[in-house]
Structure 1
Amino acid sequence: LILMLVMVGLLSLILGMGLPTTANYIVVSSLMAGVVVELGAQSGLIVPLIAVHLFVFYFGIMADVTPPVGLASFAAAAVSGGDAIKTGFVAFFYSLRTVALPFVFIFNTDLLLIDVTWVQGILVFITASIAILVFTAGTMGWFLTKSRVYESVALVLIAFMLFRPDFVMDRIQPPFQQVEPSAFTEALGNAAEGDEIRLVVSGPDFDTGDNKETTLVLSVGAGSGEERLANFGLLLLPEDGVVKMDEPSFGSAFSDSLSSFDFYGDDPVQIASVQAPSNQMAKEWVFIPALIFLAFIAFLQRARISRQGVPA
């Protein structure tokens, strides 16, 4: 998945070369955004479309400072009288220090204030500001004073914990529990209103016939399990312990998402796995050890400044 995002970023960088901002966005979003959504769903990553657009647009805009076609770098070199290619490389390497940001858009949509409360939004703003400063300090090798290698590594890890607290919390407490496909309707009925259930569907591709998977996110509404299932337009056919799926109702919530599957081939489209939400602690608890760790690094550097008389 990370490799796919890196490749999409590189392609967006190439596609954005020599284009003005508006044309840049139109090109990269129309050509690359769908790739991230489709491949992300196959890998189990559900990404809001706005996050995908910002991801590809970020790398498209980076083309303005990337040689050999960095228009902004050439303009800056003309003003400063410097070498255009050297200016482009310096600008490119400086912009690499914030390259973590578009990946955060993908993996932590809270930063885009998607489905957050006012309190969560303020907390995200504060922690994200600290995280980007800490990440810059880690990559530049200077925090309160010149950092040692292990301090720089620690600062980058702290920034990662602040940017992606869910990654750490998921390792402590998994956010979902596996449910047998045959118990999907029951799990749907037991879920609280507003919960999300993830459904991994596998089956033959309509165009190639190759087996593929995609992940659906079901936002649970009101009603019983059967009523909720009917509202989603999903038609299930349990058979010999396997839950097969018929083509969803036209115009239903997932008719487009499942349109690339061949429901009439020899191999069935079926539910591969079901993930129901578990009782996970709030991911914001990860901020506490991260900030304590940051304070410890600051304490070490201040002690070194006092001991060596090195100016901060």
Structure 2
Amino acid sequence: MAEELSIFMKEYKEVLESELSAVIERLDAPETLKKSMNYSLQAGGKRIRPVLLFAALASLGKDPKLGLEAAAALEMIHTYSLIHDDLPSMDDDDLRRGQPTNHKVFGEAAAILAGDALLTYAFQVIVQSPHYSSEQKVTLVEWLAQAAGPEGMVGGQMSDMEGEGKELTLEELEYIHKNKTGRLLTYGVMAGALLAGANEEQLAHFKNYAFHVGIAFQIQDDILDVEGSEEKIGKRIGSDTAKEKSTYPALLTMEGAKEALNKHADAALTALQYTKADPALLSALVELIVTRDR
């Protein structure tokens, strides 16, 4: 199944990246802004969030390309968050996916505006899609705003910043990562399931699957911040320790963090069984997330 997932990811990464280039190219906007937006959009990465969306559609027998505009919007939101996270006033990072961060290339002001543009344009891309019904557009926009905003990613980021230098409880740490990292991953799964016509019961199980995938994703991130290599993950190692952030290895020990990683991976696979979907791609994605960059 790993080979099938690899082929699927390669195909739909290429489809997505072509779409991302097209949506930027058709903008009537200053060229420097478009270049800054496109620089970070095309910086690579596994595209896990949109791939989850495409895989959810495929798992219910639908053409993954049906999710193209929703996937592009999702990746635009994710990319804006990375641009802003890397700024000197936030995480102050010089590298992202092995390349200089946006503000190192275009300057801080242009990087901020590129992030702002990606955030707002994402919703326009969904609303202007010729492939979604009005009802689907409203739901997709509502879910994406919740996932990205103060009740989701931005709220998680604020809690993460406020938690620096403090010893958080496991519950507090899970809240941060459920929102900062997990909500956009969940959106990918849920958007794909929605566009595939999943019913309410199926959506609930897809959501449970995505919750555990999101926590597993962050636990592995924390592990890689200790055990990973800069060459493989494309950013500085040990930045969480330097910022005195609470992490799963710090709270649970490295052995405990790896046990928690496996527990959430198993819970995701269990939830997937109840979706009545073909589990092949989505279960392979769980394996990819928990073993990535080893």
TM above 0.5, yes or no, is no
Structure with greater proportional strand content: 1
> Which structure is larger by alpha-carbon Rg, 1 or 2?
1
User: TM-score, with normalisation over the residues of structure 1?
Assistant: 0.29
Return the structure number with greater relative CO, CA threshold 8 A, min gap 6.
Answer: 2
User: TM-score, with normalisation over the residues of structure 2?
Assistant: 0.30
Structure with greater proportional helix content: 2
